[in-house]
Structure 1
Amino acid sequence: MTDDLENPFAEPVEALIARSNRLGSNPANTNYAGGNTSAKGTETDPVTGEPVELLWVKGSGGDLGTLRPEGLAVLRLDRMRALAGVYPGVEREDEMVAAFDYCLHGKGGAAPSIDTAMHGLVDAAHVDHLHPDSGIAIATAADGAELTAKIFGDKVAWVPWRRPGFQLGLDIAEIKRRKPQAVGCILGGHGITAWGDTSDEAERNSLWIIETAAAHIAEHGKPEPFGGVRAGFEALPEAERRAKAAALAPTIRGLASTDKPMVGHFTDSEVVLDFLASEKAPALAELGTSCPDHFLRTKVKPMLLDLPADASVEDSIARLKELHEQYRADYRAYYEAHAAPDSPAMRGADPLIVLVPGVGMFSYGANKQTARVAGEFYVNAINVMRGAEALSTYTPIGDAEKFRIEYWALEEAKLQRMPKPKSHQGRVAFVTGAASGIGKAIASRLAAEGACVVVADLDLEKAQAVAAELGNTDVAIGVAANVADPAAVQAAIDATLLAFGGIDLVVNNAGLSLSKPLLETTEADWDLQHDVMAKGSFLVSKAAAKALIEQSMGGDIVYISSKNSVFAGPSNIAYSATKADQAHQVRLLAVELGEHGIRVNGVNPDGVVRGSGIFASGWGANRAATYGVPEDKLGEFYAQRTILRREVVPENVADAVYVLTGPELSRTTGLHVPVDSGVAAAFLR
C-alpha cells in the first residue's frame, strides 16, 4: 500500500478538507450540514499497482464546517462515470444511489450522498455545491434565469429546478461541456454549484458567485423588500418580549409535541423580529421555504400567530391552540394531496417553526441541536425571501416538489439509519444544587443519557463550569438559583424554558446541613435549613409544575431526601425535620399532580461523603465528632453500619434518579427509593 493511501491527509484530501471547513464555517456560504464538496485525483491501486482515478466527496449527513477525512466517500471515477451508460431515467434514478456502492474504492469511507453524481460527472477536478442565502435568493426569484444572466453574464449558467439526483448531475455536466467559460451555475429553487481546476480556484469561484449575488442585491434591491411595518406588530422591549416568550414556551412546546416529544429553541434576533413586523410576513410565511435543506428541517411552512405584539398571554395561548388545529389539518391535506400508495407514512403534522410577532421564533427538533439548526435554517429562509423580494418576487418550488423530497424514499432511508435515541433524549432536566456532589453526578448521568440539562446552583460560576464539562449549550447550561427566593426560582425556570423550550424533569437536590443538638440549634439554623430544602423544594416544584401542566406532556419531579427523613439520629433536629418535610411533599404532590401525568418520587440516601459540598462545609466534621471517628474515615464508618457494608457515593444516587425518570418505571409515583446500602432503621413501612 502506498504512503499516500496510508495518510488520510494526503493531497488532494488535505486541500479538500481545508476548503470544506473554510466554506462551511461561514453561514453566509452554506447552512449547517448543507451542501457538499469534492476533489478528484489519482492514487495507486494497492491491488494492481496501477494508477486509479478517485473521487473524494462529502458523504451523506456530514457537515462541511466540521468535515474530516472519515466523512468523505471515496469512489472509483471510471466506474462512477460508467453509470451514465446504465442510467434508467428520472423515473428510477433513486436506484443510482445504491449503484454508487459498486463504485466504492476500498472500504469506501462514508455513505455516498444523492449529490455524488453532480461531483463525479462534472469534468472539473474540484466541485462545490452550496446553499448561500444570496445564491438561493436568485434561485427563488420569479425571474431567476434573467437575473442570473444579468448579474453574472456567461460565467454562471441557470439550471431550472430539478430534484437532486443523477439527472441533475448529467444536466450540470452538460452545461460545463457546452459553456467552457462558465465557473458555476444557479440551481433553480435550490442553491449554487461551482468548480475549478484547483481547490483554490473552486473556492474562489464559489465565493465570487456568493459575493457577487449579495453585492447585486445590496446595490439594486428595494430598500424595504418586506414592505412597511405592520402597526402593533413591532418588537416588544427586550425584557417584556422574553418574559412573554417564557410564558408562551410551555404551551407552544406542548403543541409542537402532539405527535412526538420535541426540544425547543428560542430566537429573538433582529432579523426575525423585523420580518415578523413587516407587511409581507403573513403571505411570505405561508409560501414556506424552498431549498430542500431548509424545508426538511423547518417543514413546508411555519405556524404564524396572527395577533399583535401586545396581545395578552391568555389570548395568545387560545389563538395558538386554534392555529395549531388548523395547521395540523392543512398538513394532513398536503400529505393526502401528494402521497402515493408507496409513500412513507405521515411523520407528524405539528409545526417545527412557530413565529410570534413582537416576541420571536420558536423552533423544534428531536434534540437541542436539531431545534437550534431548524431555527438557523428559517433565518436563512428569511434572508432568502428578503433577497428575492428585493429584486423580484419570491417564488419557492411548489408543494408537490416539496412533498417528493420530504417523503423521498432516500430521505426515509436516511432517517431509518439514525441511531436509536437514548433513554432521556428529548427531555429537559432541571437539577438544583448541581455544581458539586450528588447534584453534579445526577446532571452528568442525565446528560449522558441524552437529556438537556440545566445545572442550577447558588454559585453561578460553578454551575456554568459544570455545564461546560457536560458539553456545549446544546447539552447543558448553568444558571444561578437561590431556591429560597421565589423570584430567583422563577427566573431560573424561565431561563430553562427559553434555552430548551420547556421542562420535563426536576430534581430537588439543593441542600445544606448544620449538625447540632436541640439546645444548640438556633432559630436561624432552623430557618436556614427549612428555607433551602423544605421551602426551596416547594418553590421549585411549584414553578416547574406550572410549566409541566401547561405543556401537557407529563413529567417527573424527584426529591433527594435522606434516610434521615425516617431515621432518628442524634444532634440533627433541623436537618432531619426538613428532610421529613421533603419526604411528605413527595407523597402530597404525587397525589395532586398525577392527573397531569406528572410523577413525583424521592431518593433517600445515607450520608454521601465523597464530593459532597455539605460534608465539606463542616457537616462532616460535626457528624464525625458526633460518632467519635476521624473525619476522613466518616464514609467508611457509614458503610460499616449498613447491611451491605458499602459506601454510598454520588453516582449511586444518580443511578436511582436515572431509573426513576426512565421508561422502566413509567407507572411509579409516590415512591421513596432507599440508596443507603441497607439501614434497617430506615426501612420504609
Structure 2
Amino acid sequence: MKTKEFKHVSYLWDERKAAELAGDEVGLLIYRSNLLGADLRLTNYGGGNTSCKAVVKDPLTGQDTEVMWVKGSGGDIGTLKRSGLAALYVDKLRGLEKVYRGLAHEDEMVRLFNYCLFDLDSKAPSIDTPLHGFLPFHHIDHLHPDAAIAIAAAKDGKRITQELFGGTLGWVEWQRPGFDLGLKLRQCLQDNPGIRGIMLGSHGLFTWGNTAYESYVNTLEVIETCAAYVEANYNKVKPVFGGARITAQAPEKRQQQAIALAPVLRGFCSTHQHMVGHFTDDARVLEFINSHDLGRLAPLGTSCPDHFLRTKIAPLVLDLAPDAELKDVKALKEKLAPAFEAYRADYKAYYESCKHADSPAMRDANPVVILYPGVGMFTFAKDKQTARVAAEFYINAINVMKGAEAISEYTSLPRQEAFDIEYWLLEEAKLQRMPKPKALSGRIALVTGSAGGIGRAIARKFADEGAVVVINDNDAERLSVAKAAFEKQYGRDAFITAPLDVTDIHQIQGAFDASCLAFGGVDIIVNCAGLSVSKPLEDHTSADWDLLYDVLVKGQFLVTQAGVNILRKQDQGGDVINIVSKNALVSGPNNAGYGSAKAAQLHLGRLNAAELGPDRIRVNTVNPDAVIADSKIWEGAWAEGRAKAYGVKVEDLPAFYAKRTLLNEIILPEDIANACFVFVGGLLNKSTGNVLNVDGGVAMAFVR
C-alpha cells in the first residue's frame, strides 16, 4: 500500500526502520503503536490499545509458551515504550474463563489478571486486556478513530457497517469493556470467520493482522474506508449540523472575548478546586457551536467512553451574544451564575438518579467543556494538559456527531451507561492510585523578570510544585534561552512566555492577556523584575532616579493593578509577592535612589495588603540581600559600585556579604524561591502584609 492511496489517514511505515526490528515482535508492536498514535485521526491521546503475541521460552519451565504484550493501564500509544506494556501468559489469561462468574462479578477479574503476568515488571494490565487475549491474532489494534465511531454511534450503524464492508467487518453492540466483552469479541469472530475487524457499537474499532505490518495496513484501510464514506455523505441530504445559525466573530474579536471571559468562567469552575483553562476557536468547533443543531446535539453528550470520561456528561452552552459587552464584570457574573447553578443541579440529579449503593461520592459538579457560540470552546481541568486534552476529545466528539448525522442520526450513550463508566469502581480505584496533587496544582503564576536570576528560580520552584507559569523578560535573547530550558525540563503545557517590560503598560496587559488565553487567568503575581544603580549622591542623576522608580515602584504598582483586575474576576482570592530588599530597611552608602525605591516598594506592598484583604488577596514581601548568582543586577557597574562602597574587590563580594550576616551564609536564588513558596504553598493562607527576610541574618534589617 503506497502513501498516495490514503487520503484520510497518514501512512508512516518506514521499511528501513521496520527491518531493523525484524524478529523483535515487541519492538515492532511499539513501532506500530507509535505510528498509529502519531495520527490523531486514528485515535485520541491516551485512547485505544495495541498488542502482540509471540512464542518465547518460559523462564520457569524452559518450554515454549505464548505471551501477549498489550498496552498497560494508562499511557498513550503515541509515546508507548516497553515499560508501558503488560506481558501475560496467554493460556493463563484464557484460563480465567473457568472462574469467571458473569457480568455481576466483572470487576473482580481485573485483580486476577495479575496472576497471569509473564513479566513481573509489567505495567498494570488494563480492563481491555481480555479483549485482546481472546482473539487469536498475533497483532491487534483497538483504536477510537472519529470516522469509525461516527458509524458506530449512528442510529443504524450496524446496517451501515455490514453494507460498507460487505460482511468483512463484524459488529458487537455497546457494552462496557471487560472480561465479558472479550468473550463477545471471540464469539463474533467464531460466528463470522474470515472477518478483518470488529466494530464496537458507540465505542471504537478492533482490527488485526498476523504481522505488525499487516495489522497496521489493515487498520489504515478500514479507517480510510469509513472516513471516505462519511465524507461522501456530508451535505448530501442535509446541511452539516443543520447549517449555520450565527456567524462567528472575526478572529481578533474572538480572542478579545475569550480573554475577557476566561477568568470569570474559571472562577465559576473553580468552586471545588482550582482549575486551569484552555481555549480554542478551531474551525471544527466553530462549525458546531454556530449551527442550528447545537441545541439538539450538545445535551446528548458523547458516545465513546474515552471521550466521555474526559468531557463529562454534557457541555455547558452559554446563552451569551458573540459580541456581548463583557467589561461590566458584576453584570456578567449575575448573568452567568444561573447557568452554572443549573448545570450543577442537573449534574447532581444525574448522579442521584443513576448511582448505585456502592458508587463513589459525587465528584465536582462543574462543567469541563463550555461552549460560547460565535467565539469558541473553553475547557477547565486540574492542569493544562488535562484541559487541552479535554478540548481535543470534545473535538473528536464533534467529528463523531458530524459524521453520524451525515450518514444517519447520532446516538449517545444512555445516561445510566454513561454514569456506570464515569463512576466505575475500577476508574475510581485508578483515580485513587494517582499521585496526590502538588501544593500548587491548578495554580497560575506570573513572575516578572523570570527569564533569569531570582525570577527564574521562583518560576522553577512554582513549576516543580505543580503550577503553570508565565515566563517573561524585557530581554528577548534571555527569554528565548529560558523558554528552551523550561520546555526541556517541564514540557509545553507547564508554561508560556511573553515579552514584558514592567514600565510598558501595554506589555503588562499583553502578558496577563496571554495568561488568560492560555490558562484562564492568574493566581500568583510575583513582582521580581528589577535593576540597581549604586552611585554617591553627587553622581546620582535624575535619569537614574526616574529609571529606578519607574521599574521598581511604578512597575510593581502597574503589574499588581493589572493582576488584581483578573483576580477579582475569578473571585477565588490570590497572592501578590513583592521581591524587595533588605535595603528597604537598612541605610547604606551610595544607595539613595535604589534604597529609597525599595522602601517605597515595601510600603506599597503593605498598602496593597490593607486594601485587598476583603478580596482574599494576600500581599506579602520577601527581602533578599546580595543574591549574586545569575543576576543581571550584579553585572557591571552595580557590582563595581558596591565593591567600591565597601572597599573590597568585586570577586570578593559574595564572601564579604556572607561574613557580615549572622548565619555567615551566601544567599542563592533558590533561597528566595523557597521563601516565596512558603507564602503560597498553603500553610500561610491567613497571612498577609508580612515581610520575610532572606538575607542570612542582617540585624539592622529586622522588622521593628
With the shorter chain as reference, the TM-score category is over 0.9
> Structure 2: how far apart are the matches of 1:317 and 1:617?
51
Counterparts of residues 196-595 of structure 1 (less than 5 Å) = 196-222=209-235, 224-231=239-246, 234-313=247-326, 314=328, 317-470=333-486, 471-595=490-614
The question of whether the paired residues in 2 share the 8 Å contact of 1:189 and 1:396 is answered with yes
The question of whether the paired residues in 2 share the 8 Å contact of 1:121 and 1:170 is answered with yes
Identity of aligned residues (%): 51
Q: What's the offset of the Cα at 1:303? A: 0.5
SS at match of 2:180: helix
> Structure 2: how far apart are the matches of 1:644 and 1:354?
54
The question of whether the paired residues in 1 share the 8 Å contact of 2:155 and 2:409 is answered with yes
The question of whether the paired residues in 1 share the 8 Å contact of 2:369 and 2:391 is answered with yes
Q: What's the offset of the Cα at 1:9? A: 10
> Structure 2: how far apart are the matches of 1:611 and 1:654?
14
SS at match of 1:134: helix
1:29 aligns with 2:42: yes
Change (3 A) 1:363 1:617: farther
The question of whether the paired residues in 1 share the 8 Å contact of 2:605 and 2:621 is answered with yes
1:671 aligns with 2:684: no
Instruction: Identify the residue that residue 680 of structure 1 maps to in structure 2.
Output: 699
The question of whether the paired residues in 2 share the 8 Å contact of 1:464 and 1:477 is answered with no
* CA distances 1:592-623 after superposition (whole Å, capped 9, x unpaired): 11122211111001121111111114211111
1:603 aligns with 2:616: no
The question of whether the paired residues in 2 share the 8 Å contact of 1:262 and 1:365 is answered with yes
Q: What's the offset of the Cα at 1:465? A: 2.8
The question of whether the paired residues in 1 share the 8 Å contact of 2:86 and 2:119 is answered with no
The question of whether the paired residues in 2 share the 8 Å contact of 1:154 and 1:181 is answered with no
Matched residue type, 2:192: K
Q: What's the offset of the Cα at 1:26? A: 0.8
Change (3 A) 1:436 1:333: same
> Structure 2: how far apart are the matches of 1:211 and 1:573?
73
| TM value normalised by structure 2 | 0.94
> Structure 2: how far apart are the matches of 1:416 and 1:640?
50
SS at match of 1:129: strand
Task: Give 5+ residue unaligned stretches, structure 2.
Answer: 1-20
* CA distances 1:201-249 after superposition (whole Å, capped 9, x unpaired): 1111111111111001111232632112113xx2212222111111111
The question of whether the paired residues in 2 share the 8 Å contact of 1:9 and 1:69 is answered with no
Matched residue type, 1:495: A
* CA distances 1:547-578 after superposition (whole Å, capped 9, x unpaired): 11111212111000000001111111111111
The question of whether the paired residues in 1 share the 8 Å contact of 2:171 and 2:188 is answered with no
Q: 1:182 aligns with which of 177, 191, 195?
A: 195
The question of whether the paired residues in 2 share the 8 Å contact of 1:222 and 1:391 is answered with no
> Structure 1: how far apart are the matches of 2:171 and 2:491?
41
1:57 aligns with 2:70: yes
> Structure 2: how far apart are the matches of 1:9 and 1:88?
41
Q: What's the offset of the Cα at 1:463? A: 2.2
Comparing 345-354 with 665-674, which one deviates more in the overlay?
Answer: 665-674
Matched residue type, 1:535: K
Matched residue type, 1:496: S
The question of whether the paired residues in 2 share the 8 Å contact of 1:307 and 1:316 is answered with no
> Structure 1: how far apart are the matches of 2:455 and 2:113?
50
SS at match of 1:478: strand
SS at match of 2:118: strand
SS at match of 1:424: coil
Matched residue type, 1:479: A
Task: Give 5+ residue unaligned stretches, structure 1.
Answer: 1-7
The question of whether the paired residues in 2 share the 8 Å contact of 1:235 and 1:359 is answered with yes
Matched residue type, 2:424: W
The question of whether the paired residues in 2 share the 8 Å contact of 1:506 and 1:541 is answered with yes
> Structure 2: how far apart are the matches of 1:311 and 1:182?
55
* CA distances 1:164-197 after superposition (whole Å, capped 9, x unpaired): 1111111111112222221111111111111111
Q: CA RMSD in A?
A: 1.4
Instruction: Identify the residue that residue 619 of structure 1 maps to in structure 2.
Output: 638
SS at match of 2:284: helix
The question of whether the paired residues in 2 share the 8 Å contact of 1:23 and 1:65 is answered with yes
SS at match of 1:154: coil
* CA distances 1:500-549 after superposition (whole Å, capped 9, x unpaired): 11211111000011111222222211111111111111111111111111
The question of whether the paired residues in 1 share the 8 Å contact of 2:301 and 2:413 is answered with no
Change (3 A) 1:488 1:617: farther
SS at match of 1:109: coil
Matched residue type, 2:564: A
Matched residue type, 2:231: A
- When the two structures are aligned, how many residues end up with a matched partner? 676
Comparing 628-637 with 669-678, which one deviates more in the overlay?
Answer: 628-637
Q: 1:659 aligns with which of 673, 678, 694?
A: 678
